[in-house]
Chain A
């Protein structure tokens, strides 16, 4: 669970002695889900960022949907930015393998890392997942062990005679089907399929996370009886009319599906916990009608306990330093100083600056109290794109205690994919096609265009079209990990 803080400490600590930059240009390729930040000339935060860190910061920002194409273009262009955010995609795995990013191990091994105390604070388990082939090729972007939470429309449920959250799979089905039948135009219990409902179904039927590893051999979660039961449950949800009729299209249109949550046209949500506590559309929706979205943890289908949830590795992505930039050791050290600044912990002056801007620009803070916003300014839209990355994830909002209590229930009932952090060439290459295969079979089974028995046909295809290769490669990697490391 991420650490939570309802308040800032009265006295902020200082973790960095001098501005990290050398006044020159610093480029970074990064991913973003936010609207584009205003240009430098109109962006107070960007200006103070350059000044405080002593850099001429020139980010190249890829919207999440275009990330892969943009990265490929950058790689092919031959002139990589100094710092690159590397998601777990085929493209970046390949670039790392080809040596596009500097091996930082020699500089950071042993006590050497103490020169960068904030980087030294990176957790042991996170180092394990950012390493590639035993080399440190970057720093982690944090991801909580379980980042999201389920909520449902409690107000509708009460109206329909369900005062409590669903206690088993049957109740889950009844509840969400009842939302679709309330006679309100455009209102449905569930929106996208497989989507959110499949995640809940997998949890309720205790489908293994990723793979099941027993006696040295792997079974893919979709090959298990549990998964077959979850799919069957999905077909029942569909038959009961719980879904939006265009559920399959909605699954491919994340933006539209998400917009149904604040719009009040869907009864379930599965989004990052922090969304309900930090200002934004979901927060606003909840403020407007506090009885609406209540958290619930999908139960085990028989009603005896909670579902089973997938725990993350704690790493969302890597932040690598380009081999080209690392050739000059002075520059490499400067870039490490820079990363060290960004990684500053909650309660430090650096972290405060990255989340509130310079004193008086967007927030003012006096006497160790809470920061008060400066009227007429808006911090998030100007800063969010620029600061996303290495900063440690913390729940630093009012209600952090509640958020953690909810989060604990997920983490305590979670397992991690035994193959997490392992590389399989077959997996990176074949995954897009296998996802497509899943769509063609499982999606169509769910909406009744194919019989449930086609699940076997799907699995046969899955095995022959890369699944078995993946299994072999992962089994070898697991054995190597057991014997080696």
Chain B
């Protein structure tokens, strides 16, 4: 039986554990041609040059704001949608809506942003509609002050449907008897959601929340990189785009790896911390 573990194990060792060794690049002035063995060791120089970079503070701030907004709005959105869909009586209608809300997940960010541009951009339908009403020059896609809200809206639009799948699975494990007895006790539909559905979803929610906290410093690279030219780095610089411009585009691999290493450490601390907190609050936690 244990043989079934093998393919997964090999995958993780090969693509997740072996590459961890590459983190030594964080302590080198790495040159792809000379390789790990030939490149110069520079100690903590890559880390200090990150800390000294004036842009890093802006990148961290933006990352945390977007991350918080995503946690506050994009994370609960699929729960709400799952509960709403679950309350629909018509199977047909439910499947229709499911299909429609799943679809955007399969579009790449390039396409998603092109679509949004067509609707909210300066030459988009919204701008055209408003100009008929005499309101000119509306361009939500290149407004730095609206940008973070825009990013979260895009994430919700793209992935809310996909996110419901796991909550649907959880809802389906809640015993129908619980609903029946709650109904017999006189609970209306809101009370049934509050006292039966939500507690039933709690373990899954806690698990996903802990995992989400692990990636709190990762808020989507392509989505931001693609839109940065329109709003500028002040609004759209996040840690990952910083790594791209500071490290990868300039051929400074050591710096990129150093940031990756820091992110990995922070993520691990967040996951462990959140897990401990979850246990203290009385849920099972993740492990």
Interface residues of A (CB under 8 A from B): 68, 72-73, 75-76, 78, 89-91, 93-95, 98-100, 186, 244-246, 248-249, 251-252, 428-433, 435-437, 439-441, 443-444, 447, 449, 461, 464-465
Q: Which of A93, A94, A251 has the most CB of B within 10 A?
A: A94
A95 to B244, CA, bound (A): 19
B123 touches A245 (CB 8 A): yes
Q: Which of A76, A90, A99, A428 has the most CB of B within 10 A?
A: A76
Size of the chain B interface, CB-CB below 8 angstroms: 34
Given A90-B249, A428-B251, A433-B55, output 14 extra A-B contacts at Cβ < 8 Å.
A72-B32, A72-B251, A75-B31, A90-B251, A94-B31, A94-B33, A98-B31, A244-B122, A246-B139, A249-B141, A430-B250, A432-B246, A447-B142, A449-B142
A100 to B252, CA, bound (A): 17
A277 to B83, CA, bound (A): 62
A248 to B144, CA, bound (A): 12
Q: Is B154 an interface residue (CB 8 A)?
A: no
Q: Is B194 an interface residue (CB 8 A)?
A: no
A78 to B237, CA, bound (A): 33
| Interchain nearest-CB distance for B131 vs A (Å) | 10
A68: chain B residues at CB < 8 Å are 249
A444: chain B residues at CB < 8 Å are 144, 232
Q: Which residues of B122-172 are within 8 A (CB) of A?
A: 122-123, 127, 137, 139, 141-144
**B64-108 interface bits toward A, Cβ cutoff 8 Å, 1 = contact, 0 = none:** 000000000000000000000000000000000000000000000
Q: Is B223 an interface residue (CB 8 A)?
A: no
A437 to B53, CA, bound (A): 13
Q: Is B6 an interface residue (CB 8 A)?
A: no
| Interchain nearest-CB distance for A471 vs B (Å) | 18
Q: Is B234 an interface residue (CB 8 A)?
A: yes
- Of all chain B residues, the one with the shortest Cβ separation from A251 is B229
Contact of B232 among A89, A93, A245, A443 (CB under 8 A): A443
B123 touches A440 (CB 8 A): no
| Interchain nearest-CB distance for A6 vs B (Å) | 42
B34: chain A residues at CB < 8 Å are 98
A75 touches B228 (CB 8 A): no
A461: chain B residues at CB < 8 Å are 54
A439 touches B228 (CB 8 A): yes
Q: Is B230 an interface residue (CB 8 A)?
A: yes
B234 touches A440 (CB 8 A): yes
Q: Is B267 an interface residue (CB 8 A)?
A: no
Q: Which of A78, A433, A439 has the most CB of B within 10 A?
A: A433
A435 to B54, CA, bound (A): 15
- Of all chain A residues, the one with the shortest Cβ separation from B252 is A429
Q: Is B44 an interface residue (CB 8 A)?
A: no
A75 touches B122 (CB 8 A): no
- Of all chain B residues, the one with the shortest Cβ separation from A252 is B229
Interface residues of B (CB under 8 A from A): 31-35, 54-55, 117, 121-123, 127, 137, 139, 141-144, 226-230, 232-234, 237, 244-246, 249-252
A429 to B254, CA, bound (A): 12
B233 touches A248 (CB 8 A): no
A246 touches B33 (CB 8 A): no
A91 to B251, CA, bound (A): 5
- Of all chain A residues, the one with the shortest Cβ separation from B242 is A433
| Interchain nearest-CB distance for B151 vs A (Å) | 15
A-B interface contact total, Cβ < 8 Å: 105
A440 touches B122 (CB 8 A): no
B122: chain A residues at CB < 8 Å are 244-246
B232: chain A residues at CB < 8 Å are 439-441, 443-444, 449
| Interchain nearest-CB distance for A202 vs B (Å) | 19
Contact of A249 among B117, B143, B245, B246 (CB under 8 A): B117
| Interchain nearest-CB distance for B21 vs A (Å) | 14
B251 touches A246 (CB 8 A): no
A465: chain B residues at CB < 8 Å are 54-55
A91: chain B residues at CB < 8 Å are 32, 251
The 6 closest A-B pairs by CB, nearest first: A245-B122, A432-B249, A90-B251, A440-B232, A75-B32, A252-B229
- Of all chain A residues, the one with the shortest Cβ separation from B233 is A440
A432 touches B250 (CB 8 A): yes
Q: List 30 A-B contacts (CB under 8 A).
A: A72-B32, A72-B251, A90-B249, A90-B250, A90-B252, A94-B31, A186-B123, A245-B123, A246-B121, A246-B122, A246-B123, A246-B141, A246-B230, A249-B121, A249-B230, A251-B229, A428-B251, A429-B251, A429-B252, A431-B250, A432-B244, A432-B245, A432-B250, A433-B245, A433-B250, A437-B233, A439-B229, A440-B233, A443-B229, A443-B232
| Interchain nearest-CB distance for B118 vs A (Å) | 10
A437: chain B residues at CB < 8 Å are 233
A447 to B141, CA, bound (A): 13
A186 to B32, CA, bound (A): 46
A100 to B38, CA, bound (A): 13
B141: chain A residues at CB < 8 Å are 246, 249
A95: chain B residues at CB < 8 Å are 31-33
A429 touches B250 (CB 8 A): yes
A435: chain B residues at CB < 8 Å are 245
Q: A437-B233, A439-B232 are in contact. Are A464 and B249 (CB under 8 A)?
A: no
A78 to B31, CA, bound (A): 11
A76 touches B35 (CB 8 A): yes
- Of all chain B residues, the one with the shortest Cβ separation from A265 is B123
Q: Which of A91, A431, A441 has the most CB of B within 10 A?
A: A91
| Interchain nearest-CB distance for B112 vs A (Å) | 14
| Interchain nearest-CB distance for A184 vs B (Å) | 13
A93: chain B residues at CB < 8 Å are 251
A89 to B249, CA, bound (A): 9
B234: chain A residues at CB < 8 Å are 440
| Interchain nearest-CB distance for B249 vs A (Å) | 4
A433 to B33, CA, bound (A): 24
| Interchain nearest-CB distance for B223 vs A (Å) | 13
- Of all chain B residues, the one with the shortest Cβ separation from A99 is B33
A279 to B55, CA, bound (A): 46
A186 to B232, CA, bound (A): 25
A464 to B55, CA, bound (A): 12
A428 to B249, CA, bound (A): 9
- Of all chain B residues, the one with the shortest Cβ separation from A91 is B251
A246: chain B residues at CB < 8 Å are 117, 121-123, 139, 141-142, 230
- Of all chain A residues, the one with the shortest Cβ separation from B255 is A429
A94 to B249, CA, bound (A): 13
